[in-house]
Amino acid sequence: MHIACAVLALTLAFTLLGQVPANLFMLMFFLNLVTVGLGVVLHELAHKFVAIRYGAFARFIAWPAGLALMIIMAAMHFPLLIAAPGAVYIFTPLGKKEYGIVSVAGPLTNIALSLIFAAAMFPVAALTSAMPGISTYLMLLLASGAQINAWLAVFNMLPIPPLDGSKVLPWDGKVYAGVIVFALLLVFIIVPLLAGSAQLLFG
């Protein structure tokens, strides 16, 4: 229930933030639902499986105030969306290192998904001439997936409790810096560059 609420709220927020025309709203909502759903669910599964490896129990709990704030900011078209739908809580005592590893697993999963979505734009863009309609929708889906997952990694790595970054930073500052810097590069440089290159080569 908590994950479902977070997925729907994030999907609505990212769709509103995109300021798409009314006739395309449901299409973009569906595309974002796929990418957000995949990103959030795999993020939480990564936490869960790594926690299990250490004999711990982890669970995602939605933050209603954060969900509401996120949707309001998106509806008002704030240039920067605070994507804070909730956080994973670990209910078993762990050492600082284990706690940090469990926490960083989620953002690393989003980074991996962002790269996969971005890389997939090249073969899909190559199909533009053969299947222009399908290729266009797939490109929208992949671009959405790459950008949204990169943003999810960035916001989850903020060093603010109870976000993942607040547990990773005390464990290892170098790991923290590496993950958040790479996530920021994904958002502002790598994903836009790959998307533009795919369109330029095959568009």
Q: pLDDT (tens digit, 9 = 90+) per residue, 13-45?
A: 989 988 788 888 998 899 889 999 999 999 999
98 part of the active site: no
**Res 96: pLDDT:** 95
Range of the domain at 79: 2-202
pLDDT score for 88? 81
Q: List, as one string, the DSSP characters of 127-140.
A: TTTTSHHHHHHHHH
Predicted confidence at residue 21, as pLDDT, reads 86
Cα–Cα distance measured from residue 10 to residue 67, given in angstroms and rounded to the nearest whole number: 8
Residue 158's pLDDT is 94
Helix (H) / strand (E) containing 89: strand 86-90
Q: How crowded is the C-beta side of 156, counted as CA atoms within 13 Å?
A: 30
Q: Is 19 left (phi over 0), alpha (psi -120 to 50) or beta?
A: left
The residues of the chain scoring below 70 in pLDDT are 128-130, 132-133, 202-203
Position 171 scores a pLDDT of 98
Among the listed residues 10, 14, 40, 44, the single catalytic one is 44
Into how many domains does the chain fold? Answer: 1
pLDDT at 125: 82
